[in-house]
Amino acid sequence: MKIRTLIVDDEALARERLRQLLEAESEIEIIGECADGCEAVAAIQQSSPDIVFLDVQMPELDGFGVLDAIGTKPMPVIVFVTAHDKFALRAFEVHAVDYLLKPFDRERFQASLRHATEQARNKAVGIHMEPQVAVLTELRSRTKPLDRLAVKSGAHIVWVFLDEIDWIQSADNYAELHVGAKSHLLRETLNALEERLPAEKFVRISRSAMVNPQRIKELRRMLYGGYEITLMNGTQLTLSRRYRDKLPLLGVS
């Protein structure tokens, strides 16, 4: 069974170089090429490749933004491709994640491909995910705060800014973002989303919901110890007793 591989790079010559090298590998099937981060998010979510050769530096949505957009589950094996990000190189090396430093030769490419192929074959048990997630965690701490989420809508990517979201609801393996009268389904669990959203912008109020504190109009204590939350748009939510320790984050002392 061939390993399905996606190429993502905003430079046409770089994509061509990777395509030529991959075409020489009998166990690899190239399933597509993407010239920017938004295309990559849509392709990864739609095609579920085994391996992605992902350029780090791309305009608008870079390689780390792509991984933020698709979430950690399920995540393909990533071979990061970079030209000059010294900090990223250190993070990759510390966590033993594959990367290619441009320009690279065939020998270096094949070494990365062998490692990525081995990880892809172990994908079912999640062996490949831990170091990649560790890299993302480290790099997020040095980058600008998350201020928007990329949501796939048909063949397009819709950007939803955090400040515009009223509340977020769990929908099985998805998170439903409520923005005024509209809603968007994000392919990510509420637990996973909570881990990467700024704590000051969204507060967990129950097993199935998070709320934007700036959208709260009123809190009313209920008999059993929970709170009824009324948002500015009239939506009513419940903060369960289990999450009463979150009240200070909602401005309640």
Domain count of the chain?
A: 2
CA nearest to 179, candidates 199, 158, 196, 193:
158
156 and 184 belong to one structural domain = yes
109 and 173 belong to one structural domain = no
12 and 132 belong to one structural domain = yes
**Which CATH number belongs to the domain containing residue 67 in this structure?**
3.40.50.2300
Task: State how far the Cα of 64 lies from the Cα of 58, in Å rounded to an integer.
Answer: 10
Cβ atoms of 167 and 210 within 8 Å: the answer is yes
210 and 242 belong to one structural domain = yes
Q: Give me the domain span that covers residue 128.
A: 3-140
136 and 16 belong to one structural domain = yes
Boundary of a domain, candidates 140, 169, 200: 140
Task: State how far the Cα of 216 lies from the Cα of 166, in Å rounded to an integer.
Answer: 8
The per-residue pLDDT string of the chain (253 residues; one tens digit each, 9 = 90 and over) reads 799 999 999 999 999 999 999 999 999 999 999 998 888 988 998 888 999 999 988 877 788 788 777 765 567 888 888 876 665 666 566 555 677 888 889 998 999 899 888 888 876 545 555 666 666 665 655 555 678 888 877 667 788 999 999 999 999 888 999 999 999 998 788 887 887 788 889 999 999 999 999 999 999 998 887 899 999 999 999 999 889 888 888 877 6
| pLDDT value of position 100 | 84
| pLDDT value of position 90 | 61
Which pTM value belongs to this model? 0.56
Q: What is the DSSP letter of 240?
A: -
| pLDDT value of position 176 | 94
Residue type at 25 in one-letter notation:
E
17 and 91 belong to one structural domain = yes
72 and 161 belong to one structural domain = no
Task: State how far the Cα of 225 lies from the Cα of 1, in Å rounded to an integer.
Answer: 56
Count CB atoms within 10 A of the CB of residue 153: 10
184 and 244 belong to one structural domain = yes
| pLDDT value of position 32 | 95
| pLDDT value of position 87 | 55
Boundary of a domain, candidates 140, 173, 200: 140
| pLDDT value of position 146 | 72
**Which CATH number belongs to the domain containing residue 218 in this structure?**
2.40.50.1020
Going from the C-alpha of 203 to that of each of 50, 147, 188, 239, 246, the distances in angstroms are: 34, 15, 17, 10, 7
- For residue 182, the Cα-to-chain-centroid distance in whole angstroms is 22
Task: State how far the Cα of 206 lies from the Cα of 185, in Å rounded to an integer.
Answer: 19
Boundary of a domain, candidates 104, 123, 140: 140
Mapped onto helix, strand or coil, the DSSP state of residue 124 is helix
38 and 125 belong to one structural domain = yes
Mapped onto helix, strand or coil, the DSSP state of residue 13 is helix
| pLDDT value of position 207 | 92
43 and 132 belong to one structural domain = yes
| pLDDT value of position 253 | 62
Residue type at 207 in one-letter notation:
R
13 and 126 belong to one structural domain = yes
130 and 35 belong to one structural domain = yes
Contacts with 20 (C-beta within 8 Å, 6 or more apart), sequence order: none
